[in-house]
Amino acid sequence: MIERLSERIIPEKLQPGNIIRIIAPSWSLSIIDKGVQSFAEETLKNMGLVVTYGNHVSESDLFRSSSIQSRVEDIHSAFLDSNVKGILTVIGGWNSNQLLQYLDWDLIRTHPKVFCGFSDIDTLNNAIFSKTGLVTYSGPHFIFFGQKHHFEYTKEYFKKAVMSNEPFFLDPSSHWSDDEWYLNQEGRHLVDNKGPLVIHEGEAEGVVVCSNLCSLNLLQGTEYMPPLTDIVLFIEEAKFSNPSQFDRDLQSLVQQRGFGIRGLVIGRFQQGAMTVDQLNYILQSKRELQDIPIIANVDFGHTDPKGTIPVGGMVRIRASRVNTFVQFTEH
Active site residues: 119, 236, 302
Amino acid type, 113: K
Beta strands 294-298; 136-138: pairing state: unpaired
3-state secondary structure 64-103: CCCCHHHHHHHHHHHHHCCCEEEEEECCCCCCHHHHHHHC
Q: How open is the CA angle 40-266-184, to the nearest 5 degrees?
A: 30
DSSP string, 142-186: GGGGG--SS-HHHHHHHHHHHS--S-EE-PPPSEEB-S-TTT-TT
Measured CA to CA in angstroms, residue 11 lies from 45, 201, 313 at distances of: 21, 33, 11
- In the three-class reduction of DSSP (H, G, I as helix; E, B as strand; rest coil), residue 248 is classed as helix
Judge contact between 107 and 131, C-beta under 8 A. Answer: no
**Cβ atoms 199, 317 nearer than 8 A:** no
Dmax (CA) of the chain: 52
Per-residue b/e over 166-205, b at no fewer than 16 CB within 10 Å? eebebbbbeebbbbebeeeeeebeeeebeebbbbbebebe
* Contact between residue 52 and residue 21 where contact means Cβ atoms under 8 Å apart: yes
> Measured between alpha carbons, how far is 328 from 331 in angstroms, rounded to an integer?
7
